[in-house]
Copies of this chain bind each other. A is one copy, B any other.
Amino acid sequence: MMWHPATQVLTKDDQAFDPATLSWAVQSVGPEAGEPVTPGEALRRLAETHRLRRVPIGIIGPREATAEQCRIAEAMGLELARHGLQMLCGGKSGVMEAACRGHARGGGLPIGLLPDEEWHAANPHVAIPIATGIGPARNAIIARACLVLVAIGGGVGTLSEMALGLQFSRLVLALADAPHIDGVARLASVDEVLERIAGRILSAV
């Protein structure tokens, strides 16, 4: 993958990446020199120069979270914002609130897809509260709506979102002490997660 600073275009072989559709298309690229980038770097360059289509990236985890889980969730939310990515979560307390705090701090507009009937039930850092009124069944919509789901800690609620994510062919990643399921990569750091998210976004053909 090559980044072309002058034209602000990301290329791969004879294709260029379109940030609006998150897809590659054949495009004649001038002779301008490019520099090789990792998916994560490519995403950062795109975020600085373009508006990426805001397909949500989900952060999932428990309401009752440990300090460590909250620390990781806040860092994850922050980094998503810095990479120009739209965060979506369940909009409640614990891991969700920490993720929203971080995302908002990074300039993002965190979406909270609430189980509740009214938007007031969102945590104070949710920028865009979406009250569904369907209770925990909203987990199925979170799993469907997100391109990638990042689990941080969590019990059976988080497990159900992870399993629904796999069922819907989403990329599901686990950080910290998230439940273990076959098909879910367990990663050690926020940076690794970002690299995997970038890989998913940039591999979409």
Contacts and interface: CB of A to CB of B under 8 A. Distances in A.
A156 B133 contact: no
A156 B167 contact: yes
A136 B160 CA distance: 13
Interface string A109-142: 1010100010110001001111111111101110
Interface string A48-63: 0001011110000000
Nearest to A136: B167
A2 interface: no
Nearest to A147: B119
A88 B129 CA distance: 11
- Interface size of A as a range: 35 or more
A36 interface: no
Contact of A159 (B21, B140, B163, B168): B163
A96 to B, nearest CB: 16
A140 B136 contact: yes
A183 interface: yes
A162 to B, nearest CB: 8
B144 A132 contact: yes
A166 B120 CA distance: 19
A93 interface: no
B144 A117 contact: yes
A119 B131 CA distance: 20
Contacts of A56: 128, 130
B136 A133 contact: yes
Contact of A141 (B127, B132, B163): B132
A200 to B, nearest CB: 13
Contacts of A120: 21
